[in-house]
Amino acid sequence: MAEKMINQDQLAMENQSLKQLLQSDYDALGSNLARRGIDIDAVRNKVQSYGVAVPSWGVGTGGTRFARFPGPGEPRHVFDKMEDCAVIHQLSNATPRVSLHIPWDKVDDPVELKQRGDALGLGFDAMNSNTFQDHAGDAYSYKYGSLSHVSAETRQQAIDHNIGCIEFGKKLGSKALTVWIGDGSNFPGQVNFADQFQRYLDAMSVVYKALPTDWKIFSEHKIYEPAFYSTVVQDWGTNYLIAKELGDKAFCLVDLGHHAPTVNIEMIVSRLIQFGKLGGFHFNDSKYGDDDLDTAAIDPYRLFLVFNELVEAADRKTPGFDPAHMLDQSHNVTDPIESLMQSAMEVQRAYTQALIVDRTALREYQHCNDPLMASNTLKSAFRTDVEPILAMARFEAGAAIDPISVFRAAGYRAQVAKNRPAAVGSGGGIV
């Protein structure tokens, strides 16, 4: 039995007050779905076993280029972060794993961290190697790049760091390394595109060779930022080339915010699935760029369309199809725990809506060239309010019918603020 951060009696009391209404909403939706040939309990079971990983950095308050406004009770270190992540999972039953960032979450004793995870009922998802910043004590700077740097010594340092992340992750039970680099250029002519990419590929192949047999490596593309003229891994095409060059354990990671605003992300997802290279996701939402807004805050339909591709691939029993699902978002004006719970539920909602798409009808409409009805088939699933399924899945797993309400009523934030000193200074950015 995992250690509980929120009082179970309080949780039970809140659930008790909502239980009857939930049951009646669930029954009503159940009969509606039954008319469409869908068994609501079967859908609920799938949703109940679905999980998305939370990023350790996400439980801290984020910032902008201009400033950061720290909130009360911010986690001081990875052990505090784990406790916040445990709250999210306890109330949502949707986030069983945490994705760590190194060096931010580096500790001397990984065994102690693993034990803390076990006690809190949390596992460890993909490890993230941060070579987009300098690390205290390192001999070389990443100012002009890491794995693609012109200097062999700097590249070696970045390679060693990535291998160190694998070694650390092995002790935690992680099975994947996510590599996102900030490497690129800010001026035309600053770098030779081909040489820079070749250096990256050569360095990545050294990291790849250090992967244990049951590990995967994910490369993550991003159109721009922190480099503003070119980035080494700028889009899914380059990302696919990398995964293809490296080998069978290499896959592409799709961060929803790392594309130009009008790009058809669900189609990228489909292509990567078709050619066996979809590694997983960083879920968030975006209005203009890599805004790292809460998942589905801006465009829930797009998230649904992504999940539509995933459910379609699972239905077709695509061989080796097992993408990693992670949140990756920044919280500047909300409580990070609330935002992460909300986003985990939004991801579950999109998954649930995709599960109730009438795929037989959709295929028929596609085959007889009926775009209007094909679109309506998707819309019909998207328009269905599946909240009772999500809430019932949570309730039956011992989580909260209304996670945000329980979190607020429990006073967790105020309680941890007493033990965790307020962060000082704004950590100002640039203006």
**What minimum distance in Å lies between the beta carbon of 63 and Mn ion?**
16
Restricting to residues 351-390, which ones interact with Mn ion according to CB under 5 A?
none
**What minimum distance in Å lies between the beta carbon of 325 and Mn ion?**
12
| DSSP reduced 3-state for 427 | coil
**The binder of Mn ion chosen from 125, 183, 266, 328 (CB under 5 A):** 328
Which CB atom, from 81 or from 282, has the smaller least distance to Mn ion? 282
First to last CA, the chain: 49
**292, 267 contact by CB (below 8 A):** no
Among the candidate windows 73-81, 266-274, 320-328, 365-373, which touches Mn ion by CB under 5 A? 320-328
Burial class (CB in 10 A: 0-12, 13-18, 19+), 109: exposed
**The binder of Mn ion chosen from 282, 331, 349, 413 (CB under 5 A):** 282
What is each CA distance from 42 to 48, 285, 305, 348, in whole angstroms? 10, 29, 21, 15
Question: Six-digit token pair at 233?
Answer: 């891994």
Which CB atom, from 101 or from 413, has the smaller least distance to Mn ion? 101
Q: Strands of 80-213 (E only): list them.
A: 97-99, 101-102, 123-124, 127-130, 176-180, 184-185
Among the candidate windows 17-25, 150-158, 328-336, 412-420, which touches Mn ion by CB under 5 A? 328-336
**What minimum distance in Å lies between the beta carbon of 282 and Mn ion?**
4
Confirm or reject binding of residue 125 to Mn ion (CB under 5 A): no
Longest dimension (CA), the chain: 66
Among the candidate windows 211-219, 242-250, 274-282, 315-323, which touches Mn ion by CB under 5 A? 274-282
**350, 304 contact by CB (below 8 A):** yes
Say which DSSP state 285 is in.
Answer: B
Which CB atom, from 124 or from 407, has the smaller least distance to Mn ion? 124
**The binder of Mn ion chosen from 80, 83, 105, 255 (CB under 5 A):** 255
**What minimum distance in Å lies between the beta carbon of 292 and Mn ion?**
8
Size of the site for Mn ion (CB under 5 A): 3
Which CB atom, from 48 or from 329, has the smaller least distance to Mn ion? 329
Among the candidate windows 91-99, 224-232, 263-271, 322-330, which touches Mn ion by CB under 5 A? 322-330
Which CB atom, from 259 or from 282, has the smaller least distance to Mn ion? 282
Among the candidate windows 67-75, 97-105, 321-329, 356-364, which touches Mn ion by CB under 5 A? 321-329
**What minimum distance in Å lies between the beta carbon of 193 and Mn ion?**
23
Which CB atom, from 255 or from 335, has the smaller least distance to Mn ion? 255
Among the candidate windows 14-22, 95-103, 125-133, 255-263, which touches Mn ion by CB under 5 A? 255-263
Pairing relation of β-strands 230-231 and 216-220?
unpaired
Angle, CA 300 vertex, CA 296 and CA 304 arms, to 5° = 115
**What minimum distance in Å lies between the beta carbon of 303 and Mn ion?**
15
**What minimum distance in Å lies between the beta carbon of 68 and Mn ion?**
19
Among the candidate windows 102-110, 113-121, 193-201, 325-333, which touches Mn ion by CB under 5 A? 325-333
Question: Six-digit token pair at 209?
Answer: 């060779």
Which CB atom, from 282 or from 413, has the smaller least distance to Mn ion? 282
Among the candidate windows 126-134, 237-245, 276-284, 309-317, which touches Mn ion by CB under 5 A? 276-284
**What minimum distance in Å lies between the beta carbon of 257 and Mn ion?**
7
What is each CA distance from 253 to 51, 256, 391, in whole angstroms? 17, 10, 29
What is the DSSP secondary-structure string of 324-368?
Answer: EEEE----SSS-HHHHHHHHHHHHHHHHHHHHTS-HHHHHHHHHT
Residues 213-252, mask of contacts with Mn ion (x by CB under 5 A): ----------------------------------------
Residue for token digits 């306890």?
Answer: 90
Q: Strands of 70-191 (E only): list them.
A: 97-99, 101-102, 123-124, 127-130, 176-180, 184-185
Pairing relation of β-strands 184-185 and 230-231?
antiparallel
Cis status, amide bond into 226, omega within 30 of 0: yes
**What backbone torsions phi and psi does residue 422 show, to the nearest 5 degrees?**
-65, 140
Which CB atom, from 285 or from 328, has the smaller least distance to Mn ion? 328
Q: What is the Cα–Cα distance from 100 to 97, expressed in whole angstroms?
A: 10
**What minimum distance in Å lies between the beta carbon of 327 and Mn ion?**
9
Q: Using CB under 5 A, list all residues that contact Mn ion.
A: 255, 282, 328
